[in-house]
């Protein structure tokens, strides 16, 4: 369906007094996966609310430079800052320019890239960050006072779950194949339910001690004793 037809439906439902979400639901019910994005619905709903009656794009004379005019750059930048997960297609539909021009503005003019979220063990609260800063400053003071003695006596501890069986990764399962051969197959496996928690102590010379605690048990039933030095 042409984009003008979608806009006509949005305008018709707008004039019926439907909300943005109701219009989106109606479009999804009728057009399914080909339905315009919520960003497009919101944009044209706002246009009609401001008094616009035409569903056609305004004339954009001249070369592609018009598409990269300052107003388009600003509009695209505002859209991305409002929703950083927007797809290029959704931005193109909202602004009314091609996906190629949107990509050019995002990458070449705004210098933006779309990256996957980086995994971190946990998100620190302001209190966590403050405690780490204070502890680090105290350790640095002790280190400057006597670096050799500090490193000799400083012990770090961490915990991690170890599964009884961990399936190989996709990278580990790679095999050499001859021309014409199909990719090898393997049954999907998951990490075993059985696991133990390993508590590891180490200093500047290496690992000092490792304690294992089975799932379901506590330190009260299986204690952890550090070796004597």
Helix (H) or strand (E) holding 104: helix 99-104
Judge whether 38 lies within some domain.
yes
pLDDT tens digits, residue range 139-161?
999 999 998 888 888 888 988 88
Q: How confident is the model at residue 60, as a pLDDT?
A: 56
Structure tokens at 161: 């779950």
Residue whose structure tokens are 């339905």:
35
- Shared domain check, 161 and 145: no
- Shared domain check, 132 and 71: no
* H and E: helices and strands count for the chain: 8, 3
- Shared domain check, 98 and 18: yes
How far is Cα 179 from Cα 82, in angstroms, rounded to an integer? 48
**Ranges under pLDDT 50 in the chain:** 63, 220-229
The domain of 124 spans: 120-152
Nearest to 190 by CA among 174, 168, 172, 175: 168
Q: How confident is the model at residue 169, as a pLDDT?
A: 74
- Shared domain check, 69 and 28: yes
- Shared domain check, 189 and 159: yes
Strands 195-203 and 156-163: antiparallel
Q: How confident is the model at residue 219, as a pLDDT?
A: 57
Judge whether 51 lies within some domain.
yes
Model pTM above 0.75:
no
Judge whether 115 lies within some domain.
no
Say how many domains are in the chain: 3
Q: How confident is the model at residue 201, as a pLDDT?
A: 93
- Shared domain check, 102 and 30: yes
Judge whether 179 lies within some domain.
no
Burial of 126 (0-12, 13-18, 19+ CB in 10 A): exposed
């Amino acid at each position: 369906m042409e984009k003008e037809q979608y806009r006509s439906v949005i305008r018709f439902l707008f004039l019926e007094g439907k909300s943005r979400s109701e219009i989106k639901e109606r479009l999804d019910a009728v057009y399914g996966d080909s339905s315009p994005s919520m960003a497009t619905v919101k944009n044209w709903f706002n246009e009609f609310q401001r008094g616009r009656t035409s569903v056609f794009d305004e004339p954009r004379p001249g070369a592609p430079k018009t598409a990269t005019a300052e107003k388009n750059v600003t509009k695209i930048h505002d859209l991305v800052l409002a929703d950083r997960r927007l797809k290029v297609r959704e931005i193109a539909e909202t602004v009314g320019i091609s996906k190629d021009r949107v990509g050019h503005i995002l990458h070449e003019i705004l210098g933006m890239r779309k990256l996957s979220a980086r995994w971190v063990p946990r998100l620190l609260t302001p209190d966590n960050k403050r405690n780490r800063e204070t502890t680090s400053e105290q350790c640095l003071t002790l280190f400057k006072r006597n670096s050799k003695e500090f490193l000799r006596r400083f012990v770090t501890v961490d915990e991690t779950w170890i599964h009884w069986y961990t399936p190989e990764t996709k990278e580990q399962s790679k095999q050499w194949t001859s021309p014409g051969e199909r990719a090898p197959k393997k049954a999907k496996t998951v990490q075993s339910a059985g696991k133990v928690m390993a508590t590891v102590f180490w200093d500047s010379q290496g690992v000092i001690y490792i304690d294992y605690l089975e799932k379901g048990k506590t330190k009260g039933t299986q204690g952890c004793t550090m070796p004597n030095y």
